[in-house]
Amino acid sequence: MKLKINLTLVTLWCLSVGSTVNAQNVNVAKALAPAEKQVEILLKNSVKVIASEPKYIAPRTLENNQLKLVIGKDWTSGFFSGMLWYLYELTKDPKWLEPAKEFTQKLAPQQFNTGTHDLGFMIYCSYGNGYRLTNDTSYKSVIIQAAKSLSKRFNPVAGVIRSWDHNADKWQFPVIIDNMMNLELLFEATKLTGDSSFYKIAVSHANTTLKNHFREDYSSFHVVDYDPATGAVKWKGTAQGYSDPSAWARGQAWALYGYTLCYRETKDIAYLKQAEGIAKFILRNPTLPADKVPYWDYNDPQIPNSPRDASAAAITASGLYELSGYSKEGKSYRKTADQILNSLIKNYTSNAGTNDGFILAHSTGHKPAKSEIDVPIIYADYYYLEALKRSKGGK
C-alpha cells in the first residue's frame, strides 16, 4: 500500500511539472497563416499613410485606435522591414521580397546616425536580415557604416556605449539595459570587415554592463548613469519601470537575449552563466503568470490588476530558443519557450482584420509615461515572428 501511495505521489508530481512547462510543439504553419493576413493589412495601411505623408517610413503602434507610423530616426523604425524579411524566409513566398527591400531601403540614411544607440534595432533587424537572406553587398556596406556610427558613442573610460542624449539634467552618461541588443551589429561588423575594434567595444560594453547593471538575483536595473570622465557609477534606476529597484519586464527580456547572443559570438562562459541566471529570475519569479506572459513590471504592486507585456514574452521566447542550444538546461528552456509562444498564439494575437494588421495585442511600451499601454507594438510582432522561426531550430 505504501509503495502504491508513493508511486501515485510521483505520478502527480510528474504531472504537475509537466503542467508548468507545456511540452506541446509549436504549430508554426498554423500560426503563420493568420500572421501573414494581418501583416498584409498592416502593409497596405502603412503604404497608404506613407503615400500621403512621406516623412513616415514604418508602422509602430496604435495611438487612440489609430495607426501610428514613425520617421527613420525612431528606434522602432527597423522592425517592420525585419518582419517582412522573416515572412519571406518563413513562407518562401516571393510576394514579401519587394516590400522587404522597399522598407529596408527607407532606412539607408540611418547608417550615418550618430545620435542614437539603437542602430542595432534600426539597421541590423532590417539590413542584417536582408543581407543574411540575399547576400546583397550593398546591405553589407550599410551594416559596416552603421557599426562605425554606433562606435562613436563608446566611451573607453567608462567602457560602455552611451544610450541617450536627452535629459542632461538627470544624468551625464546614461546606459540602458536595452543597449545589449545593439551589440549584435558590432559583432557582425567584425565578421564582415576583420576589424576587431567593433568586437572589443561590444565585449567591453557587455562586461561593464554585467558588472554594474545586475543585482544578486540577476534582475537588472533599467538605467545606469556613469561619470564619463572617470567611469564611476553615479546612479542606478529606471525610466520605464515601476520604480528604481524594480524589475521592468522588457528590460529583463533584453538582458536575457543580449547575453545569450554575446555568448554565441564570444563563447565566454560568463555570458552563458549570466543568461542562465537571468532566465532563472524570469521563469521562477513569483509574479510570472501561469501562461508565462509577464506583467509589465515584476514588482508592480497592482499585480494581478496590471497590464501584461506580450512584447517581453516574445523577446523572452526568442532568447530562450537560442539559449536552449547552448545550455545544459536546454530541453527545459525549449519547452518553456514553446509554452510562451503557444500562449501568445492562443490568447494574445489580434482577431482577424483588427488592430490595423498588427499580429499581437496586449503589449506595454512606457507605462510611467502613460504611453502605449495594452496596445499592439511593432517590436512585439518582430520578435514573435523571430520566435516562430527559432522554434523550428537554429538561431
Show Cβ contacts of residue 281 under 8 Å, excluding neighbours closer than 6 positions. 217, 218, 219, 247, 252
Neighbouring-strand partners of residue 224: 175, 236
Catalytically annotated residue among 178, 225, 356, 381: 178
Angle (CA) 90-34-291 rounded to 5° is 95
Angle (CA) 292-247-166 rounded to 5° is 125
Please choose, from the candidates 194, 79, 94, the residue with its C-alpha nearest in 3D space to the C-alpha of residue 127. Answer: 79
Structure-block grid coordinates of residue 254: 533584453
Determine the length of the chain: 395
Please choose, from the candidates 395, 320, 393, 314, the residue with its C-alpha nearest in 3D space to the C-alpha of residue 35. Answer: 314
238 is in an annotated binding site: yes
Catalytically annotated residue among 118, 300, 338, 381: 118
Cβ-count burial 137-148 (b if 16+ within 10 Å, e if not): eebbebbbbbbb
254 is in an annotated binding site: yes
Q: How far apart are CA 156 and CA 48, in angstroms?
A: 45
Structure-block grid coordinates of residue 142: 550599410
91 is in an annotated binding site: no
Q: Is the dihedral of CA 87, 93, 94, 98 positive or negative?
A: negative
Neighbouring-strand partners of residue 225: 174, 235
75 is in an annotated binding site: no
Active site residue 225: no
Show Cβ contacts of residue 89 under 8 Å, excluding neighbours closer than 6 positions. 129, 133, 389
54 neighbors 69 (Cβ within 8 angstroms): no
Angle (CA) 316-321-327 rounded to 5° is 105
Q: Is the dihedral of CA 144, 389, 85, 38 positive or negative?
A: negative
Active site residue 118: yes
Q: How far apart are CA 311 and CA 291, in angstroms?
A: 14
374 is in an annotated binding site: no
Alpha helices, DSSP H, located in 57-96: 79-91
Residue list, annotated binding site: 118, 178, 238, 250, 254
Catalytic sites, residue numbers: 118, 178
Residue list, annotated binding site for substrate: 118, 178, 238, 250, 254
